[in-house]
């Protein structure tokens, strides 16, 4: 009532959210929250507990409002998840997307947005999954008249996705009273319900690879949120448009590590395959492709292909191709094994991938290029698409869903490697005053790092892996006492371990390199960027080698210490960029925690300071 709620929230956000909040978000609090909370009081629900800007578990997204109370009939805990919009008009709607005058790209229908939040909460909270009637979703356009949004109001609605406007405010009040007890005597029970909600145990997000077989073969299992759902819907619309209007559309989806690119890819594959569409998934990663084939029993590559698989493909023979890890696209598909006559006629690889499908989809992180010759970028793909007469749609994913959804870790990692705009900051200073769950540590020895990973795995569950920069030789297996074994190439003091096994060179008790990240036997070997990229595990150990060290407050790359035959041939600045991207990839594989160590004393001092 004093008009200070938005200012109090801004102060809390400064402490709770490392990135803080912008002026536009503070203005939205000032304009929306008093209106909605006044409606809650008018409904006779002034006694319910209110959670504002509630962060979803293992996820960077925040819910505007959650009202906590008890159900008026059952007397059980009941929760109303509310998404507030200041929109007064909607220009047009197309399925589950809406076009708003002030936004540069379509956004998700607000009922679908709040429905996604409800489904995600249920999916990641066993206690809510066991109470199917406890959660209710509301989208409230408190400035909008029905005349300005009549098409958006006709959208399919359900318990988790309801829509109300200024004209239907009375209906909203009635619905809130139907799911939250208006009796002031239920105040204590409402507080108990809120405390229970805040103390719910959350299962970790479903690891990508555990669900591939079911996802592609049977039914949708992933919950897509906000920009992820926008990307998914844009692609589906483009596929339909290609069929009816003969319009070829290239969709580029940009996002950092763990932003959900591969989840979108697999969701699209599953959805369109079930519709009988001709679809392929392609990557430039042998490890990622072979793992997907293994998990869905697709050993012949019926769905999962490589970028260089389409040199002779018929134009627009597919409805859609999803190019995952598109930053790994190369100049051409020809290599040293390609016949000279074919190599001389080879087209650009990006053109091949665009030509083969009516809707080529490129999932891209321009900061994950780790080898010379990888040239996938927004500018390259856009130029190629426009030259071929294609429409281009671009979706930018915000946040990241790996690393516990920690926005602090994003900023910390960027500062650590010098890729962000802010100066490096210690982990403790970033998370001070927060309830951050993601763990960041350094170890004073490799023995300590390995022990930390084992203890986390044994005490808290999950998977653990150690990965390193490519700073040691990679030997073939040898025969010892009549048994083929791996060579312990990674030697640091008294600690030594083998690299992951080479492709097709199997040894007992160790997976092939393609399956190092997904096979439980992978912990006994050290992985590199080529076996880690595209994968995730719960607990990550990262060894910084002598190819990337701190000197006088700056990072210095040293090609003489690299054993990567391709990367070490890159020139100075290019080599530096590739190595820095390599360590960014390794740092962002962990879902619940990371422990780091450097073989270089000055760098180790820096890591120790940054992780305190």
- Report the pLDDT value the prediction gives residue 207, as an integer from 0 to 100: 43
Determine the average pLDDT of the residues in 439-466.
96
Determine the average pLDDT of the residues in 85-99.
85
Query: CA 467, CA 536: separation in Å to the nearest integer?
Result: 12
Query: CA 18, CA 22: separation in Å to the nearest integer?
Result: 12
Query: CA 593, CA 100: separation in Å to the nearest integer?
Result: 39
> Cα torsion for 533, 592, 543, 509, to the nearest 10°?
-70
CB 581 within 8 A of CB 369: yes
Closest alpha carbon to 408 in 377, 385, 431, 381: 431
pLDDT at 301 over 70: no
Pairing state between β 439-442 and 526-527: unpaired
CA distances from 22 to 17, 25, 62, 83 (A): 11, 5, 14, 18
- Report the pLDDT value the prediction gives residue 537, as an integer from 0 to 100: 92
Determine the average pLDDT of the residues in 138-143.
95
CB 549 within 8 A of CB 555: yes
> Residue written as tokens 């048994």?
483
In the structure, what pLDDT confidence band is assigned to residue 422 with cuts at 50, 70 and 90? confident
Q: Tell me whether residue 516 is exposed, middle or buried, using C-beta atoms within 10 angstroms of its C-beta: 0 to 12, 13 to 18, 19 or more.
A: buried
Q: From its phi and psi, is residue 20 left (phi > 0), alpha (psi between -120 and 50) or beta?
A: left
Query: CA 396, CA 557: separation in Å to the nearest integer?
Result: 31
CB 125 within 8 A of CB 70: no
Mean pLDDT, all residues of the chain: 88
Return the number of other C-beta atoms located less than 10 Å from residue 275's C-beta.
12
Closest alpha carbon to 385 in 423, 367, 358: 358
The structure tokens listed for 90 are 């909607």
pLDDT at 486 over 80: yes
- Report the pLDDT value the prediction gives residue 577, as an integer from 0 to 100: 93
pLDDT at 606 over 90: yes
- Report the pLDDT value the prediction gives residue 375, as an integer from 0 to 100: 84
**Please, which residues bridge with residue 67 across strands?**
50, 80
pLDDT at 593 over 70: yes
Closest alpha carbon to 260 in 284, 217, 231: 231
pLDDT at 217 over 70: no
CB 478 within 8 A of CB 489: no
- Report the pLDDT value the prediction gives residue 401, as an integer from 0 to 100: 64
CB 575 within 8 A of CB 567: yes
Chain centre distance of CA 400: 4
- Report the pLDDT value the prediction gives residue 336, as an integer from 0 to 100: 56
Q: In this predicted structure, which of 144-148, 177-181, 604-608 has the lowest mean pLDDT?
A: 144-148
* Strand stretches in 470-516, DSSP E: 478-480, 483-485, 490-492, 495-497
Query: CA 253, CA 299: separation in Å to the nearest integer?
Result: 28
CB 525 within 8 A of CB 499: yes
- Report the pLDDT value the prediction gives residue 539, as an integer from 0 to 100: 96
In 389-414, which positions are buried (b, 16+ CB within 10 angstroms) versus exposed (e)? ebebbbbebebbbbbbbbbbbbbbbb
Q: In this predicted structure, which of 196-200, 369-373, 454-458, 580-584 has the lowest mean pLDDT?
A: 369-373
pLDDT at 95 over 80: no
Determine the average pLDDT of the residues in 218-231.
76
Q: What is the pLDDT of residues 247-295, one digit of tens each?
A: 899 999 998 877 888 889 888 888 888 788 888 899 988 888 888 887 7
- Of these ranges, 213-227, 370-384, 397-411, the one predicted with the greatest mean pLDDT is 370-384
- Report the pLDDT value the prediction gives residue 221, as an integer from 0 to 100: 56
In the structure, what pLDDT confidence band is assigned to residue 299 with cuts at 50, 70 and 90? low
Q: In this predicted structure, which of 44-53, 94-103, 443-452 has the lowest mean pLDDT?
A: 94-103
Would you say the pTM of this structure is higher than 0.75?
A: yes
- Report the pLDDT value the prediction gives residue 467, as an integer from 0 to 100: 98
In the structure, what pLDDT confidence band is assigned to residue 341 with cuts at 50, 70 and 90? low
Reduced to 3 states (helix: H, G, I; strand: E, B; else coil), residue 367 is: helix
Query: CA 421, CA 423: separation in Å to the nearest integer?
Result: 7
């Amino acid at each position: 009532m004093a008009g200070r709620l938005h200012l109090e929230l801004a102060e809390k956000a400064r402490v709770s959210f490392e990135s803080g909040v912008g002026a536009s978000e503070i203005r939205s609090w000032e304009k929306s929250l008093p209106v909605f909370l006044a409606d809650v009081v008018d409904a006779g629900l002034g006694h319910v507990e209110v959670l504002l800007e509630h962060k979803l578990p293992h996820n960077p997204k925040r819910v505007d409002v959650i009202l906590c109370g008890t159900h008026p009939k059952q007397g059980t805990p009941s929760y109303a998840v509310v998404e507030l919009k200041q929109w007064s008009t909607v220009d047009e709607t197309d399925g589950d997307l809406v076009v708003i005058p002030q936004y540069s790209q379509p956004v998700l229908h607000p009922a679908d947005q709040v429905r996604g939040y409800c489904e995600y909460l249920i999916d990641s909270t066993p206690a809510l999954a066991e109470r199917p009637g406890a959660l209710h979703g509301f989208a409230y356009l408190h400035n909008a008249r029905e005349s300005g949004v009549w098409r958006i109001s006709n959208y399919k609605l359900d318990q988790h996705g309801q829509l109300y406007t200024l004209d239907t405010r009375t209906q909203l009040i009635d619905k809130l009273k139907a799911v939250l007890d208006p009796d002031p005597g239920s105040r204590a029970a409402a507080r108990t319900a809120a405390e229970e909600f805040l103390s719910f145990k959350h299962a970790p997000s479903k690891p990508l690879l555990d669900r591939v077989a079911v996802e592609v073969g049977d039914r949708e299992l992933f919950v897509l949120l906000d920009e992820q759902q926008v990307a998914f819907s844009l692609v589906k619309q483009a596929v339909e448009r290609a069929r009816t209007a003969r319009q070829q559309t290239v969709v580029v989806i940009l996002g950092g590590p763990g932003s959900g690119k591969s989840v979108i890819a697999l969701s699209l594959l599953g959805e369109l395959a079930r519709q009988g569409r001709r679809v392929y998934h392609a990557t430039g990663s042998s490890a990622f492709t072979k793992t997907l084939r293994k998990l869905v029993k697709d050993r012949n590559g019926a769905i999962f292909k490589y970028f260089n698989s389409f040199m002779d493909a018929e134009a627009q023979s597919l409805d859609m191709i999803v190019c995952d890890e598109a930053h790994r696209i190369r100049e051409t598909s020809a290599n040293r094994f390609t016949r000279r006559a074919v190599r001389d006629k080879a087209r650009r690889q990006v053109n091949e991938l665009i030509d083969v499908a009516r809707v080529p989809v490129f999932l891209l992180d321009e900061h994950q290029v780790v080898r010379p010759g990888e040239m996938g970028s927004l500018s390259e793909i856009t130029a190629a698409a426009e030259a071929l007469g294609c429409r281009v749609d671009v979706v930018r994913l915000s946040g990241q869903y790996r690393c516990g959804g920690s926005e602090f870790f994003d900023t910390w990692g960027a500062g650590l490697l010098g890729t962000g705009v802010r100066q490096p900051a210690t982990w403790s200073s970033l998370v001070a005053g927060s309830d951050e769950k993601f763990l960041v540590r350094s170890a004073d020895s490799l023995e300590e790092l390995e022990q930390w990973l084992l203890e986390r795995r044994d005490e808290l569950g999950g998977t653990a892996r150690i990965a390193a920069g490519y700073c040691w030789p990679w030997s073939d297996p040898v025969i010892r006492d009549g048994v083929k074994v791996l060579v312990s190439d990674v030697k640091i003091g008294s600690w030594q371990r083998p690299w992951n096994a080479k492709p097709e060179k199997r040894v007992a008790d160790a997976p092939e390199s393609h399956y190092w990240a997904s096979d439980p036997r992978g912990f006994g070997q050290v992985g590199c960027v080529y076996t880690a990229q595209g994968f995730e595990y719960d607990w990550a150990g990262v060894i910084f080698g002598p190819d990337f060290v701190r000197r006088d407050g700056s990072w210095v790359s040293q090609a003489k210490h690299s054993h990567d035959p391709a990367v070490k041939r890159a020139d100075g600045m290019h080599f530096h960029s590739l190595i820095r991207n390599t360590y960014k990839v390794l740092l962002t594989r962990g879902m619940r925690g990371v422990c780091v160590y450097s073989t270089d004393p000055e760098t180790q001092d820096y890591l120790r300071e940054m992780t305190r």
